[in-house]
Amino acid sequence: MLNAKMLKALNGQINAEMYSSYLYLGMEAYFQSISLNGFASWMRGQVQEELFHAMKFYDFVFERGGQVTLQTIKKPESSWKSPLDAFKNVLKHEQLVTSLINDLVNLAIAEKDHATLNFLQWFVAEQVEEEASVGEIVDKLKLIKNDTSGLFFLDADMSKRVFTLPQKGE
């Protein structure tokens, strides 16, 4: 059984993951509007991945006998100065999510909630991966600068991302 503090924090994280999905949906629309369809397709994968994260928290709350309470999802930004500007924002956002996950870990430790602590380890590892993959894209975009052919090449590469729903336990 989750205690009230942990339950509130986990419900807050469902909202944060839903916001992440919504933010990336806005970015998908931005990339689509400037005809960078590979970047847009990469963002679609990100939208689905964040929704999966939200549902992972949702399922865990119920599994532990808690009640899911949905909150308002705030309006995300919808325009960026350039692909680099958008991806710098993705990195900044993922760093924020990492700090939210770390706060949850700290709370689980303080509350001696070992089951939640164990559940959160998946997200700790996931955030390392997310920050690394987004950081790599930011670096590539910095190298490309204003080189249009470089941008088209990266766009083609970005289109290769396919999101597959992880199996239970992955």
Q: Given the rule CB under 6 A, which residues bind ligand FEO?
A: 17, 20, 50, 53, 94, 97, 130
Cβ proximity to ligand FEO, 50 vs 151, nearer residue: 50
Cβ proximity to ligand FEO, 133 vs 144, nearer residue: 133
At closest approach, how far in Å is the CB of 100 from ligand FEO?
A: 9
At closest approach, how far in Å is the CB of 118 from ligand FEO?
A: 18
Place of tokens 């600068």: 145
Cβ proximity to ligand FEO, 44 vs 53, nearer residue: 53
Cβ proximity to ligand FEO, 35 vs 164, nearer residue: 164
At closest approach, how far in Å is the CB of 153 from ligand FEO?
A: 25
At closest approach, how far in Å is the CB of 87 from ligand FEO?
A: 13
Exposed e or buried b for every residue in 3-13, given b needs 16+ CB within 10 A? eeebbebbbbb
Cβ proximity to ligand FEO, 49 vs 155, nearer residue: 49
At closest approach, how far in Å is the CB of 114 from ligand FEO?
A: 23
Give dist(CA 47, CA 98) in Å, integer: 17
Give dist(CA 36, CA 43) in Å, integer: 11
